[in-house]
Amino acid sequence: SPKIRPTDHETYLSLRSMAILPAAAESSSSHAGHSQQQQLEPTTCNAPASSSSSESKQAPQEEEPNKGVRHLCERGVTSLPPRYVLPPSDRPAPAAPRGIPVIDMARLRSTVPSERAAELARLDAACRDLGFFQAVNHGAGDKAKAMLDVAARFFALPFEERARHMSPDIRAPVRYGTSFNQLNDGVLCWRDFLKLLCNPARLDDVLPSWPHNPSDLREVMSAYARANQGLFRELIEAALEAMGITGEGVLEELDGGTQMMMVNCFPVCPEPDLTLGMPPHSDYGFLTLLLQDQVNGLEVCQGDDDWLLVDPLPGALIVNVGDHLECRYSAMGGTRACCIGCE
């Protein structure tokens, strides 16, 4: 399971998550499984040039957290608001960067049977044992760079422009928000996000509801979403093949399910030792494809509360086995337990 720590500069993560059920809940359940979290590194938030010095030093009002952490940084916050402070037992602990399995997509696509078989075996082991791996040579490098660029420009827009996409409806096709589950979180997470539904069969229908600012956002993010959809199917087919399962029925089920892209912003944090960007959780879908910039922050748990800080490879996509695929591995005798929807 993953978690995310605050960083020493802006971090943008584009998560491409696919779920079987169309009505699946938006937030991942925080239970046993392939767990993850995001931690933060020390720094201070820089007030915008137009802010006066007296305003930037002023403590934010109590309602400000609902406007998101990017807004707090724009106001020049110098200490963590109380609603973001975790209990001592839940605060981030030091973790050294460590590698996770690497899957070479070029070898998975190889026409040499022995080479492809060896990479299939590595993919199967990575999914069964840790539930995380980095995919290299995936072919989406240019689209990934453009994605990170347009994400940075979206979160740099004035708050009023970003706030146009705020919604209390967790099933809205477009939703700008903050924290992990803002309505239910007892302690808020140091994270803002833009959620976009992007089901392959209905992408053209939802595209007009996506933000039109920046002007190239729809073009760039839809191109990245389509590239990820192709990579997703390729990885699912390979994983199911390694398990000896024919993938056609599963893929048809996924095509009718909920698929989304989550663009996360983890701004600089004034007191990163007191909070998390995202709490320990597991993803409820089949696979999550994570585009991460080169800032360490993502941690994954490999059992017995042993957290490792993922050292991202340049240009790689981090792939996380979700709860639904984990259930299939468990049914095939995998080493991980499965618990969907537990609280």
User: What CA–CA distance (Å, rounded) separates 18 from 12?
Assistant: 19
Q: Give yes or no for residue 91 having a pLDDT over 70.
A: yes
Q: Which of 82-96, 118-132, 324-338 has the highest mean pLDDT?
A: 118-132
Closest by CA to 180, choosing from 170, 167, 189, is: 189
User: What CA–CA distance (Å, rounded) separates 276 from 129?
Assistant: 26
- Residue 279, preceding peptide bond in cis (omega within 30° of 0): no
Check residue 21 and give its pLDDT: 38
- pLDDT tens, position by position, 35-50: 666 666 544 333 333 3
Check residue 307 and give its pLDDT: 85
Predicted structure pTM score: 0.81
User: What CA–CA distance (Å, rounded) separates 237 from 172?
Assistant: 30
User: What CA–CA distance (Å, rounded) separates 9 from 43?
Assistant: 7
Q: Give yes or no for residue 56 having a pLDDT over 50.
A: no
**Domains of the chain and any CATH numbers:** 2-331 (2.60.120.330)
Q: Which of 103-112, 165-174, 332-341 has the highest mean pLDDT?
A: 103-112
Question: What is the percentage of the chain residues whose pLDDT exceeds 70?
Answer: 74
- What would the DSSP string read from start to end of 197-252? E--GGGHHHHGGGS---STTHHHHHHHHHHHHHHHHHHHHHHHHHHHT---HHHHH
- pLDDT tens, position by position, 172-220: 889 999 887 666 678 888 999 999 988 877 888 999 999 999 999 999 9
The single-letter DSSP state of residue 67 is: G
